[in-house]
Structure formats: structure tokens, C-alpha cells
């Protein structure tokens, strides 16, 4: 699971908001799909640039992730590297494209866990639930001093 970073949490929420507000969404387009929309927010590239980079190799996001090499300097590998630097893991990209991470899905009521990977509203719900999960993980790592510790200082 991704490292819970403020940057990633914010990017997931902004991507979900963008999609909910009508940003271009096309699951079969490498720059306009689930990962492509998140990549736009994290990298500041547009969907056509991301798609163009992806077309320099074969395959969808799953295959691109399988072929990822951090030192290749292939344009999509540079995009993936930026996404990883924000806190994502390679497996997260695969899960995002299919909306199938069990920890994220467990946040939904049982009858709503069967998300369709190519339905905008399901992508929005998944990204928001994932952002909430990561935020909870981030906040759990923060310990504030107690009142008695403050008095001693």
C-alpha cells in the first residue's frame, strides 16, 4: 500500500474532484483513465502528453508498470517515477486501474464493493475512500504531546 503522504492524499482528492466535476475520462486512454487522471495531477502533464509517452511502448498501465525501469529515461517511466515519489507503489497503480485494492474496498459497505473500473463515479468513490484511508494512516503516526508534557516544557 502507498506511503501516506500529504501530497498523495491531496492528489487523490483533487483527481476525484476533477473527475466529479467533468474532467475528461476515458478508461481506454492512457492519459484519461484512472491512473492517467492521477498522473495528470501529480505531474502537471496533460492527458495527451501522458498518452503520447505511453504509446512509445506497448500495453496498458498494468503492462507499463510491469516494464517500468527507474533508470530507463523512457518518458512514461519518468511519469511513473514521479508518481512513486509521491508515495505510490507499483502495485497501487495496478489496483487503481482496476479499482481492486482490498483495503480500499473494505471501506465500502459489502453491497457497494463491486466497483466497475471504467465507471467515472466508481473511480471517484474509490479515490476518495483511498484518500481517507491514507489520511487515517498518516494521522495515526502523529503523536501530540500531552498536557503534562507541555507544562514541563
* pLDDT tens digits for range 58-73: 889 999 999 989 898 8
**pLDDT interval class at 149 (50, 70, 90):** low
Domain for residue 90, yes or no? yes
Domain for residue 22, yes or no? yes
**CA separation for the pair 106, 56 (Å, rounded):** 36
Domain for residue 39, yes or no? yes
Stated pTM of the model? 0.88
pLDDT confidence of residue 57: 86
- Both ends of the chain: CA-CA distance in Å? 38
**CA separation for the pair 75, 3 (Å, rounded):** 24
Confidence check: pLDDT of 151 > 80 = no
Cα-to-chain-centroid distance, residue 58:
22
Q: Which DSSP category does 113 fall into?
A: -
Domain for residue 143, yes or no? yes
Domain for residue 1, yes or no? no
78's CB contacts (< 8 A; 6+ apart) are 53
- Count of domains for the chain: 1
Domain for residue 83, yes or no? yes
Q: Which DSSP category does 110 fall into?
A: G
77-136, pLDDT tens digit by residue?
A: 999 999 999 999 999 999 999 999 999 999 999 989 999 999 999 999 999 999 999 999
Q: Which DSSP category does 106 fall into?
A: T
Domain for residue 34, yes or no? yes
For the ranges 1-5, 45-49, 110-114, the maximum mean pLDDT occurs at 45-49
Q: How many CB atoms are closer than 10 A to CB 80?
A: 27
Domain for residue 111, yes or no? yes
Percent of the chain at pLDDT exceeding 70: 94
Task: Over range 10-36, report the average pLDDT.
Answer: 95
CB-neighbour burial class of residue 20 (10 A; exposed 0-12, middle 13-18, buried 19+): middle
Confidence check: pLDDT of 20 > 70 = yes
pLDDT confidence of residue 153: 58
| Residues of the domain holding 43 | 6-152
pLDDT confidence of residue 58: 84
Amino acid at each position: 500500500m502507498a506511503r501516506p503522504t500529504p501530497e498523495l492524499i491531496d492528489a487523490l482528492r483533487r483527481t476525484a474532484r476533477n473527475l466529479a466535476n467533468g474532467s475528461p475520462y476515458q478508461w481506454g486512454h492512457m492519459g484519461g483513465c484512472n491512473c492517467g487522471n492521477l498522473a495528470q495531477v501529480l505531474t502537471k502533464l496533460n492527458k495527451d502528453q501522458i498518452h503520447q509517452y505511453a504509446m512509445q511502448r506497448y500495453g496498458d498501465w498494468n503492462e507499463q508498470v510491469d516494464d517500468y525501469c527507474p533508470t530507463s529515461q523512457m518518458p512514461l517511466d519518468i511519469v511513473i517515477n514521479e508518481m512513486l515519489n509521491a508515495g505510490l507503489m507499483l502495485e497501487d497503480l495496478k489496483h487503481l486501474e482496476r479499482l481492486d485494492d482490498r483495503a480500499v474496498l473494505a471501506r465500502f459497505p459489502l453491497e457497494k464493493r463491486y466497483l466497475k473500473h471504467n465507471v467515472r463515479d466508481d473511480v471517484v468513490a474509490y479515490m476518495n475512500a483511498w484518500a481517507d484511508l491514507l489520511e487515517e494512516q498518516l494521522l495515526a503516526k502523529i503523536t501530540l504531546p500531552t498536557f503534562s508534557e507541555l507544562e514541563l516544557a
